[in-house]
Amino acid sequence: MAYPDDLLSQNEEVVVHSHPHFKMLIFPFVAFVITIAAAVWLLLLAQDATAPWNNVAMIAIGVVALVLVVWLFLTPLVRWRTTHFIVTTDRLIAREGVLKRTGIDIPMSRINSVQFEHGLLDRVFGCGTLIIESASDEPLRFDDIPQVERVHTVIYREVNDNPYDDYQGQPGAGSGGAQNTEPLPRNHPPRGRRR
């Protein structure tokens, strides 16, 4: 699902938009399968009970199974689906929640450093934790980011996409020797996607 264009600033473009890695849905899926299997087995046992207890037992089993499916499977699925991690040309955006919606926007100019970490299991799944240090007191951690190394590189490039940090050599300077450099003029157009 694309991030709504009407929420972006003028000339702002989405570079990365992802949900957390599907790894966070493995336990809920296993819980769903176990709940359904246990409910079917218990329903087969409840059929052999004497009337009217067989109907009472079947209704109770159905209600408990429904509550477990909603709590252990549907809730994490909706949480996963409504969690967004977005990198644009101007900011980093994180949104999550359905009833209680939370979010944070970090301008690229406020990001001091970006790190990633992933253990063995994360490397198997191709995800990891992204750690963003900004002007705030504590670093922000974003878990289960898919292709975390690529996202790390994209953010680093966006943070360092400053048109005033480019230097050009003096005309006539040889490629083998030292070059005299001077900053580009202030009216130099930005590089990359910021045009």
pLDDT tens, residue by residue, 29-74: 999 999 999 999 999 998 887 778 888 899 999 999 999 999 999 9
For 93-105, what is the mean pLDDT? 89
Q: How wide is the angle at C-alpha 99 spanned by C-alphas 97 and 100, nearest 5°?
A: 60
Cβ–Cβ < 8 Å for 76, 24: yes
Q: Residue 51: what pLDDT?
A: 79
% of residues, the chain, pLDDT over 90: 45
Q: Tell me the C-alpha distance between 173 and 138, whole Å.
A: 46
Task: Supply 68's token pair.
Answer: 């477990």
For 4-23, what is the mean pLDDT? 84
Buried b (16+ CB within 10 A) or exposed e, 48-79: eeeeeeeeebbeebeeebeebbeebbeebeeb
